[in-house]
Amino acid sequence: MITLHEKRPPAQRFVKGPPINTDADTYQMANLYPRDTGLPMTVWVSPRGHARHDARIKVCRTHGDRMDGTNLAAVAIRPTPRVVHGPLEQRDFAPVAAWIALNEDTLISYWNGTLSTLELARNLRRLEDTAQR
């Protein structure tokens, strides 16, 4: 029993807020390192989820195996690769665009949810793979 002099814990209220922006949640994205893609930097790909935009990937502007979520550029896949958010130098955009073109069907299938992450990994091709064919 609580007496008048005892403090009660504050009441909890649940306020319905705006929906979570799942596009920004990198934990839902598959990170692909340079050794996986042949690109000089890490990229992220994801299924559509609740996104209101068309298929795109996120590109870390720092070269190497870094996954710096604060230093990203977003690159649209369709109709042709183009930067839609954040700057990306031409020397980095050119190989990213080539990699997207090489893997467009796989990236779109993953975006549409018709491929699992394991199938994505099996189907993706590295940039160097095309030079050997």
Structural domain of 91: 29-122
Domain count of the chain? 1
Residue 15 domain-assigned (yes or no): no
Q: What share of the chain is helix, strand, coil (3-state, %, to 5)?
A: 35, 20, 45
Residue 21 forms part of a structural domain: no
pLDDT tens readout for residues 39-88: 999 999 999 988 899 999 999 999 999 888 889 999 999 999 999 999 99
Question: Is 1 within a domain?
Answer: no
The phi, psi pair for 64, rounded to 5°, reads 105, -165
Cα–Cα dist 133/30, whole Å: 27
User: Does residue 26 surpass a pLDDT of 60?
Assistant: no
Is 128 part of any domain?
A: no
Q: Is the pTM of the predicted complex or chain greater than 0.85?
A: no
